[in-house]
Amino acid sequence: MELFYCHFFLLSVLELCQFGSILSYPAECVLPFPRSYVVYHLGEQETIDIDGKLDDKAWALVSWTEDFIDIQGTDWKKPRFRTHAKMRWDDKYLYIGAFLQETDVWANQTKHDSVVYLDNDFEVFMDPDGDTHWYKEFEINAINTTWDLELNKPYLNGGTPNNSWEMPSMKSAIYVSGPVDDPSVKDKFWSVELALPFSDLVDHSPTASAPPRNKDQWRINFSRVEWHVRDVRGHYEKIPNVPEDNWVWSSQDAINMHLPERWGFIQFSTDAVNKSEFVRTPNWPVYSGLVMLYDAEKKFMAVNGYFTANLTQLEIPASLRTGQCPYEPAVQVEKTYNFGATVKPLDQRLPVGHIRDDRLIWFSDTKRHLEI
């Protein structure tokens, strides 16, 4: 952890190098760190009334996430409406409050578990144990229609969504600053208020705790789908042949939310609001190595029709091959169509990372507090 601090944050010298010397390595050894947010536990007197209005004192105390950006990355056009969110937690729920600036609020889907993203929506993706499998997805539109589902693995890995997965004690509400589906009146925004039960969120995540412990970290991402509409005789209709916009908290650099390895991090805290620092996992370099090997193997397979254990054949940064990274990468190929990659940290206090061709990620020491 301290090595990691040394390298990534030039904080105070004291904090810096209590343990050993500064380890330096090429920047290409690590992927950019995703967005992060500290979620503060509600105080004893604090409550959140799920009515769609983010007017509870418990919300006023905590900061917003960064504004959402286009899913294709920061170089892409800035979204035309602002979106940001806040989070809190108690022993039962993860609370999410989201603000969606909007001049034209409309919604058509009315049935629970219908395809909500056919409307403008707000979406939450959660992978409590950070292994990229068995993650949860939640969508809601401006008339409180919800869709909750669980995916055994990402679609790209042959995953199947389970729509029967439910969060029976979930609470949700929407507030709209104006009418819904009335083009004659311009709205200002809609807001989403959610209470998602931990007991359901940790389904199939045996190493994640419900409720979380202080300092636990989960992978999470938010996204907003926004269609282009026009006024047709007093109602909104989609403009034909114009694709929807996708705005996210932390950019995916691809139009695909189903890349859990790129989601943001939330860190649960029982400290007083604003009293915790987000701590980057010391496993991030190893995690980065795993993801780079995985992506390179998939690319190699697409061209050659098989996986390779020969790192020279892979499109990976040169430093991974030349031993300049703070870890040793290796790939084992089984029967041409399966591979497993192992990334061993040079710092032997850290666990060894593994990734499989189905994207499953795990660390040899899975009882650790931080899963990744």
> Does residue 108 bind ligand NAG (CB under 6 A)?
yes
**Taking the alpha carbons of 348, 352, 300, 125 in that order, is the dihedral positive or negative?**
negative
The bridge status of strand 161-162 relative to strand 146-151 is antiparallel
Selection from 46, 75, 44 nearest residue 62 by Cα: 46
Q: Angle at CA 136, nearest 5°, toward 134 and 140?
A: 165
Find the shortest distance in angstroms from Cβ 19 to ligand NAG. 28
> Does residue 250 bind ligand NAG (CB under 6 A)?
yes
Beta carbon nearer to ligand NAG, 23 or 197: 197
Find the shortest distance in angstroms from Cβ 47 to ligand NAG. 16
CA distance 338 to 110: 43
Of 6-35, binders to ligand NAG (CB under 6 A) are 34-35
Beta partners for residue 192, in sequence order: 98, 174
Residue 291 burial by CB count (10 A; 0-12/13-18/19+): exposed, middle or buried?
Answer: buried
Find the shortest distance in angstroms from Cβ 360 to ligand NAG. 17
Give the tokens for residue 322: 């030349």
> Does residue 63 bind ligand NAG (CB under 6 A)?
yes
Of 153-192, binders to ligand NAG (CB under 6 A) are 162, 164-165, 170-173
- Residue 85 and residue 64 in contact, taking contact as beta carbons nearer than 8 Å: yes
Which residue number is nearest to ligand NAG in terms of Cβ? Answer: 250
- Helix, strand, coil tally for the chain in percent (to 5): 15, 30, 55
> Does residue 141 bind ligand NAG (CB under 6 A)?
no
At residue 334, the 3 state secondary structure works out as strand
Beta carbon nearer to ligand NAG, 223 or 342: 223
Find the shortest distance in angstroms from Cβ 178 to ligand NAG. 16
Q: Which of 191, 252, 281, 342 binds ligand NAG (CB under 6 A)?
A: 252
Q: Which of 310, 318, 335, 367 binds ligand NAG (CB under 6 A)?
A: 310
> Does residue 249 bind ligand NAG (CB under 6 A)?
yes
Tokens 């409550």 label which residue? 47
CA distance 222 to 250: 8
> Does residue 274 bind ligand NAG (CB under 6 A)?
yes
Beta carbon nearer to ligand NAG, 164 or 184: 164
Site string for ligand NAG, 202-231 (x = CB under 6 A): -------------------xx------x--
Residue 319 burial by CB count (10 A; 0-12/13-18/19+): exposed, middle or buried?
Answer: middle
> Does residue 47 bind ligand NAG (CB under 6 A)?
no
> Does residue 61 bind ligand NAG (CB under 6 A)?
yes
Beta carbon nearer to ligand NAG, 307 or 347: 307
- Residue 94 and residue 39 in contact, taking contact as beta carbons nearer than 8 Å: yes
- Residue 236 and residue 105 in contact, taking contact as beta carbons nearer than 8 Å: no
Residue 333: phi, psi to the nearest 5? -105, 130
- Residue 217 and residue 265 in contact, taking contact as beta carbons nearer than 8 Å: yes
Beta carbon nearer to ligand NAG, 20 or 73: 73
> Does residue 241 bind ligand NAG (CB under 6 A)?
no
Which residues form the interface with ligand NAG (CB under 6 A)? 34-35, 61, 63, 106, 108, 144, 146, 162, 164-165, 170-173, 221-222, 229, 236-238, 248-252, 262-264, 273-274, 310, 312-313
